[in-house]
Amino acid sequence: MTLPAQGKIAFANQLRGLAVLMVIVSHYAGTYWSARELVSLFVFAPPVEGPSSLVSRFITPPTVAYGPFGVAIFFLISGFVIPFSLEKLGAARFLAARLLRIYPTYWAASAAVIFIAWLSSKYWGQAFHMDTGRLIANMLLVQIQTGHLSTDLVNWTLAVEVKFYIVAMLLWPWIRCRPVLTITGFSLALLAYMSCIPKGWNIVPMGVMQIGLTSTNTELLFLPFLFIGTLFHLELTKKISPKALIGSALAVLIIFLAMWKKTPWFAQSASAAANYSYALLLFGVCYVLRGRFRANRVLDFFADVSYPLYIVHSLVGYAAIRFLMANGVSFVPAALLAFGAAVALAYLIHRTVELPTAALGKRFGRRPVAPAVPATTEGVKVGA
């Protein structure tokens, strides 16, 4: 398969930069104020007191949830770009390269986040605690299945991504042959599975572990949505028609929204599902206009550091904002300073960990190159 020109996928890269900024705005201007007890639990600080910032209320309209909006864009981009690697590397090399791409950077960023949380606990005089089981489960991204708290409040999306890599790898032979049927069929099968599980079924023992079905379903829910991004990839590479893209994407979106109602996400945030529809609309418009995208230093920079920035921004930001506000800095300057600190830390991890391990993953994922076939004295290649 010939990869499209870089300009054709620049839209996806710049949307990645936009997505991480949307998530940060949501967490700093929204979650920091609306989930005070949760924030205080994770940064080992007393809950912030007083009314939320007027600026915070102004930039977080009730009709748009920037957090789910940004995460939905991330998911669509992943579904869109992962098939390039699958097609190029094959199943085994793809999975190895993706795990090498995900875990080292995640571990480095997690170490930084946990260290910041420890510093915060020392400043506020609270006991720091992080049991071994919770730490291991989070570092393997199986915290949902094993019933452990997150270490950073955002790594659930990475756990979804890893599951998507595995499912996409397994389904890829069928997706190549019958793309629309495979993706819609998988989505319907997942909906049927969630619809048929008895309400009393939740914990499934597996050896020494107990797997939570209900919590696992909150991750499986998003797999069809990621596959919508794959449908865009298939249209880009001329595997399906534009009409097939529109019809199948809408069908999978409807299935995804129906699945949403069958998970705890619906009770916690029923309106958040609408933002996945908004994200799909934005992604679709940008896809149609993809030829008009040009280099943008700001969005391209945030796209480059989006992965480590996504991991470190929440607890680093919450701890910094809480510390600064306790020392007389108002919310907006505190949030901007916290944002700058998170960006600086993310850039450091990007340069020292993400880029080297990504390069290693690319080398590891290369297919062996056959040696040049020598020519005979008659000028005819051996074996020709």
* Residue type (1 letter), 327: N
169 in Cβ contact with 91 (< 8 Å): yes
Q: Distance between CA 25 and CA 72 in Å, rounded?
A: 15
pLDDT (tens digit, 0 to 9) for every residue of the chain, 384 residues total? Answer: 334 444 458 999 999 999 999 999 999 999 999 999 999 999 999 999 998 888 877 776 777 889 999 999 999 999 999 999 999 888 888 988 999 999 999 999 999 999 999 999 999 999 999 999 999 999 999 998 888 999 999 999 999 999 999 999 999 999 999 999 999 999 999 999 988 876 666 666 656 566 666 778 889 999 999 999 999 999 999 999 999 999 999 999 999 999 988 887 776 666 778 899 999 999 999 999 999 999 999 999 999 999 999 999 999 999 999 999 999 999 999 999 999 999 999 999 999 999 999 888 777 656 544 444 443 333 333 333
Please spell the DSSP secondary structure of 85-122, one letter per residue: HHHHH-HHHHHHHHHHHHHHHHHHHHHHHHHHHHHHHH
**Angle CA 205–207–211, to nearest 5:** 35
Predicted local confidence at residue 262, as pLDDT: 82
pLDDT at 92: 85
Report CA 336 to chain centroid distance, whole Å: 24
Structure tokens at 378: 């008659």
Collapsing DSSP states into helix, strand and coil, what is residue 100?
Answer: helix
The pLDDT of residue 54: 84
Angle made by CA atoms 360, 364, 366, in degrees to the nearest 5:
120
User: What pLDDT is recorded for position 326?
Assistant: 97
- CA 297/CA 129 separation, integer angstroms: 41
Residue 371's CB is within 10 A of a number of other CB atoms, namely 6
Q: For residue 49, give the DSSP letter.
A: -
Residue 200 burial (CB count, 10 A): 5
* pLDDT for position 55: 80
Residue with tokens 């309106």: 271
Question: What's the pLDDT score for residue 250?
Answer: 97
pLDDT at 264: 77
Distance between CA atoms of 116 and 121, rounded to whole angstroms?
Answer: 9
Q: What distance in Å separates the CA atoms of residue 78 and residue 168, rounded to the nearest whole number?
A: 11
* Distance in angstroms (rounded) separating the CA atoms of residues 323 and 344: 18
- Assign 62 to helix, strand or coil: coil
Q: Distance (Å, rounded) from C-alpha 271 to C-alpha 119?
A: 36
Q: CA–CA separation, 145 vs 140, rounded Å?
A: 11
- Answer left, alpha or beta for residue 178, where phi above 0 means left and psi between -120 and 50 means alpha: beta
CA–CA gap between residue 355 and residue 42 (Å, rounded)? 29
For residue 321, the model assigns a pLDDT of: 98
Separation of alpha carbons 19 and 23, rounded Å: 6
State the helix-helix crossing angle for 306-326 and 331-349, rounded to 10 degrees: 140
Look at residue 379 in the predicted model and tell me its pLDDT: 38
Largest Cα separation within the chain, whole Å, is 88
pLDDT computed for residue 325 by the predictor: 97
- As a whole number of angstroms, the distance between CA 327 and CA 323 comes to 6
Single-letter amino acid, residue 245: L
Q: Coil, helix or strand for 162?
A: helix
